[in-house]
Structure 1
């Protein structure tokens, strides 16, 4: 057994905790890569092109995802070592800011995954120190999200999503996490699982999960780009695809293409929904790997 000191905290780095932290980081990185490559996503970067993002492409999204892997590992290790939630929240905030700085360095200043760092960082930390059960995992993440980051330096600038949330008085990524990711729990995962059960391909199941999230989420990425008109177009258009049978049917594919064109015309990219899809894939993958991932720890 080896020990290191991090921010004044004694870190117990057993082989089991190291392996678990590394595996959680791998799954988080995998989830981001899977979200990026999923196609055809409405107005989002995918294998077809840049969507509504003139400054992004798939290669950039994948490079961004991969550069974040070590930071997710650090978050998981911190959660294993730190039993005091307020101190862990401070550590997660510090590592998250370091991850964001690295992301911006890799992307040339483009915000590719700020929201995903927040969501997946909390879930990685929760998974490192909670059981594999989805409800327990999401509640642990919510508890961490509700704690203040007292070490966060004051900044006069809000993110575009935070400003949109304030302007329209609607919940954003912070509230989504503090509530235990309700759109992941109530929309994303059920749609993913029911689509698979219906015999849909994995691509179709993931697209249907994204659309289920989009149909109800107050996506602050869309709000900041296209206002309430864009938000309503996203929600109603996604619901229309699902009502037509989902992304695996002819009617659903036609409705999906129509939604894509509508959101592109509005310059409205559902980046918040994309982050929650990555989080959904992360949680779903954990459920599938529960026996091997936690067998030595619980």
Structure 2
């Protein structure tokens, strides 16, 4: 299988697996629509199917060894086309816009690894993925402190100005530390302990919820809630055993009920979960193809 096709397949599969994993607190999955009234499982599957043929284009940017300083332009052009495809498939509902940004960078990283004849292991892949967006916080967010644009600020821009939150821009520029140091170790640990992939994904999600700057949660429930109560209740599920104990699973189901009823949706963590699954499969499958 050509490298671009393999990477595209892994990205598409990770996108589908994220929505399939259940129960995810407040998020759309195969059990419920979570905190969302305008989305459901079928809509996410439709969106994922519309994007599936296009992921390989982002991997090709890396496979063609496009240097980081020129890669972002191509990735953005492809990404904008993917967004239009998504909105056309979903009737204008944003299901995967954040994930398009994240996976596009990771696909570039994977492709560039292969172009350099290096197995697409998580650490070098994430490092390369960060290079096209190095300096983006200083370029795109920092100027807001001295001059506001002639348009309404986005939620992310408001969070940066009010609380210094850099969100997914900061995560990507830093080389995806949440994936490398929290998501991927949690996923691997659960699998090594004999968990199903579904349960391993849920355990991974909880760890990502604990560390990621989730602007979705901040927007829906407030920055102080995210800083204090949100992290504590996620930590409580982990301390009670996560998916490995009866009590931990009970707390997880209760958390899903609460988030769904209160409109709390950790969509940023869901995107990071899909990205973590993609990284895991790159290491497990990609290395066999490209060593």
TM-score between the two structures when normalised by the length of structure 1: 0.86
Is the aligned partner of 1:188 residue 2:183?
yes
1:254 alignment partner, one of 243, 250, 254: 250
Is the aligned partner of 1:129 residue 2:112?
yes
Is the aligned partner of 1:141 residue 2:129?
yes
Out of 286-295 and 115-124, give the one that drifted further: 286-295
Out of 114-123 and 283-292, give the one that drifted further: 283-292
**Which structure would you say has the larger RCO, counting Cα contacts within 8 Å and 6 or more residues apart?**
2
Please name the residue that 1:33 is paired with. Answer: 16
Partner deviation per Cα, 1:261-289 (whole Å, 9 max, x = no partner): 33224311000000000000000001111
CA contact (8 A) 1:119 1:177 kept: yes
Please name the residue that 1:73 is paired with. Answer: 56
Please name the residue that 2:283 is paired with. Answer: 287
For structure 2, the 5+ residue unaligned runs are 140-148
Residues of 2 paired with 1:160 and 1:55: CA distance? 20
CA contact (8 A) 1:44 1:269 kept: yes
Is the aligned partner of 1:275 residue 2:271?
yes
Out of 56-65 and 276-285, give the one that drifted further: 56-65
Higher-helix-fraction structure:
2
Please name the residue that 1:243 is paired with. Answer: 239
CA contact (8 A) 2:8 2:52 kept: yes
Deviation at 1:237, TM superposition (A): 1.7
CA contact (8 A) 1:162 1:220 kept: no
CA contact (8 A) 2:186 2:203 kept: yes
Structure 1 residues 294 and 84, CA gap change in structure 2 (3 angstroms): same
CA contact (8 A) 2:168 2:213 kept: no
Aligned length: 275
Structure 1 residues 159 and 104, CA gap change in structure 2 (3 angstroms): farther
Partner deviation per Cα, 1:133-156 (whole Å, 9 max, x = no partner): 2111111011122266x9xxx994
What is the SS of the residue equivalent to 2:94? coil
Please name the residue that 2:143 is paired with. Answer: none
CA contact (8 A) 1:46 1:58 kept: yes
For structure 1, the 5+ residue unaligned runs are 1-15
Deviation at 1:63, TM superposition (A): 1.2
Partner deviation per Cα, 1:185-212 (whole Å, 9 max, x = no partner): 1111111111122222221111000001
Residues of 2 paired with 1:182 and 1:50: CA distance? 29
Structure 1 residues 229 and 260, CA gap change in structure 2 (3 angstroms): farther
Is the aligned partner of 1:263 residue 2:256?
no
What is the SS of the residue equivalent to 1:99? helix
2:39 alignment partner, one of 32, 56, 60: 56
What is the SS of the residue equivalent to 1:68? helix
Partner deviation per Cα, 1:63-117 (whole Å, 9 max, x = no partner): 1112112331111112222433222111001111111111111111111111100
Out of 238-247 and 36-45, give the one that drifted further: 238-247
